[in-house]
C-alpha cells in the first residue's frame, strides 16, 4: 500500500501483513517524489489522492493545489503529468479507479469528474462530471452497488465542532 503526504514530497510504501495488518514503523519505506512541484503548507495541499494505473505498472496521484494528475513510478518516485486533454482537475482530492475509469473528487469545486484512461495511465479523457447541491467539499469516493458515496468535509463550516457531517450518495455518472 502507498500513501501520499500533502506537505512533504514523499511517497510512503507500507508492506501490509496478513489480513492487512500495519507494518512496524521500521518497515515503512519513504520514496522521494520527483517531478511534482511542492508549495509550502501555507499555499495549500499538494499530492493527495492515490491509486494504480489500469495496467498496474505505476501509480496515479492528483495534486490538489495545481489541479494536475501525475503518473508516478513507484520504485523511483519519478512523476510525469498525465495528459487529460485540458480537462479541469482543480481541487482534486480523493480518487478511485475501476478498470480504466478514474473518478476524481474535486473538493472545493464540489464536482465528481470521471476520466477514461489508457492502459498505462499516461492519458485520460473527461467523460462525465457530476455535481449535487448536497456536496459540501467532498473529499473521497467509495462504491456500493451502482451508487457512489462521497463524504462531505464541510471545510467552510463556521463551527466545525458543531457541524453535522454527511455522506452524499449519487448514482454513478459513468
pLDDT digits (tens, 9 = 90+) for 30-64: 999 999 988 776 567 889 999 999 999 999 999 99
Name 39's bridge partners: none
* CATH for 143: 2.120.10.30
pLDDT of residue 42: 57
Closest CA to 71 of 80, 6, 62, 63: 80
* The model's pTM: 0.93
- Residue 147's domain spans which residues? 2-171
Lookup result for grid cell 523511483 = 76
Q: What percent of the chain has pLDDT over 90?
A: 82
Higher-pLDDT residue of 87 and 174 is 87
Selection from 57, 56, 55, 83 nearest residue 68 by Cα: 83
Q: List phi, psi (to 5°) of 115.
A: -115, 150
Q: What local confidence, expressed as pLDDT, does residue 45 receive?
A: 83
Q: How far is CA 8 from CA 65, 68, 99, 174, in A?
A: 14, 17, 29, 33
Contact 136, 110 (CB under 8 A): yes
Residue 10's Cβ-side half-sphere holds a number of Cα atoms within 13 Å equal to 9
Check if the beta carbon of residue 117 is closer than 8 Å to that of residue 102: yes
- How many domains are there within the chain? 1
Amino acid at each position: 500500500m502507498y500513501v501520499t503526504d500533502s506537505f512533504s514530497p514523499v511517497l510512503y510504501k507500507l508492506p501490509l501483513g496478513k489480513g492487512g495488518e500495519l507494518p512496524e514503523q521500521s518497515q515503512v519505506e519513504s520514496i522521494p517524489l520527483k517531478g511534482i512541484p511542492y508549495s509550502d503548507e501555507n499555499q495549500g495541499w499538494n499530492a493527495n489522492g492515490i491509486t494504480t494505473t489500469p495496467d498496474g505498472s505505476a501509480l496515479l496521484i492528483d495534486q490538489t493545489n495545481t489541479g494536475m494528475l501525475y503518473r508516478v513510478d513507484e520504485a523511483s518516485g519519478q512523476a510525469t503529468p498525465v495528459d487529460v486533454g485540458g480537462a479541469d482537475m482543480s481541487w482534486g482530492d480523493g480518487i478511485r479507479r475501476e478498470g480504466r475509469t478514474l473518478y476524481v473528487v474535486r473538493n472545493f469545486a464540489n464536482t465528481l469528474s470521471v476520466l477514461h484512461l489508457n492502459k498505462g495511465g499516461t492519458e485520460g479523457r473527461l467523460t462525465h462530471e457530476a455535481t449535487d447541491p448536497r456536496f459540501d467539499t467532498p473529499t473521497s469516493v467509495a462504491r456500493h452497488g451502482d451508487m457512489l458515496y462521497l463524504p462531505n468535509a464541510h471545510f467552510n463550516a463556521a463551527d466545525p465542532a458543531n457541524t453535522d457531517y454527511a455522506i452524499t450518495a449519487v448514482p454513478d455518472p459513468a
